Amino acid sequence: MTDEGRRSDLAAALSQVHARIDQACAAAGRPAEEVTLVAVTKTYPASDVVLLAGLGVTDVGENRDQEAASKAEQVRLAGATPRWHFIGQLQRNKARSVTRYADVVESVDSVRLAEALARAAADRAEPLEVLVQVSIDGDTARGGAAGDDLWRVSDSVATAGRLQLGGVMAVAPTDWEPDRAFELLHGLSERLVKVHPSATAISAGMSGDLEAAVRHGATHVRIGTSLLGMRNALR
């Protein structure tokens, strides 16, 4: 497809996603400015990120370090400067790499990972924003902290020098009603904000369930498929 063809496809999809977000906000009695769209560009090329940035997308999400690192570099060389959100499971030995390009790491779910990121971020000019990933159903194998771990991880991020605790992130379990999952997440966010008043972000909602997430206070929705199309690989 030509660049122009891709651009107009992305523009059409983007305006549909914005319409969904606007409608969900109106239904929830929330101003649309409260919700930031994070375009999840995993598996798609840097050229798509550049086109999306040209269409006004300010935030992009990636879930694999190697792919994200090279894409971020290509996008930077093309002159676009979106905010990069890392949203995938992260091994501690990738912490240094991620802190080079990421503005936000949304998937921090252990004290050890928080500590590794804090060490890696020590020489950054800007603090690294961190969201603590919550495991809604307690099955932490798929990522996320559950139970008291959530508070341990949050406290460790909040007290680490170059990290800034931004809030919480979650993926609704496939076998849960999204409303039930995001209501639970909202409750945890309220508890977190009591202890850490600036940690107000709630990253929740994907292509299939963004309306439910907005109903329950999402400040960030992470949208891949509805924006860029179906991905080939299961990821």
- Per CB under 6 A, residues contacting ligand PLP are 40, 42, 63, 87-88, 171, 206-208, 222-226
* Comparison of 155 and 184: residue with beta carbon closer to ligand PLP: 184
* Comparison of 143 and 217: residue with beta carbon closer to ligand PLP: 143
**Nearest distance in Å: CB 49, ligand PLP:** 15
The position carrying tokens 């002159």 is 79
47 in Cβ contact with 64 (< 8 Å): no
CA distance 90 to 99: 12
**Nearest distance in Å: CB 230, ligand PLP:** 8
Q: Give the burial class of 1: count Cβ atoms within 10 A of its Cβ; 0-12 exposed, 13-18 middle, 19 or more buried.
A: exposed
**Nearest distance in Å: CB 171, ligand PLP:** 5
* Comparison of 138 and 161: residue with beta carbon closer to ligand PLP: 138
**Nearest distance in Å: CB 226, ligand PLP:** 6
**Nearest distance in Å: CB 125, ligand PLP:** 27
Phi and psi, residue 106, nearest 5°: -95, -5
99 in Cβ contact with 117 (< 8 Å): yes
Instruction: Return the closest-CA partner of residue 66 out of 104, 100, 108.
Output: 100
CB atoms within 10 A of CB 16: 12
**Nearest distance in Å: CB 65, ligand PLP:** 13
CA distance 193 to 53: 31
Q: In the complex, which residue's CB is closest to ligand PLP?
A: 224
* Comparison of 8 and 225: residue with beta carbon closer to ligand PLP: 225
**Three-class DSSP category at 112:** helix
* Comparison of 95 and 171: residue with beta carbon closer to ligand PLP: 171
* Comparison of 17 and 114: residue with beta carbon closer to ligand PLP: 17
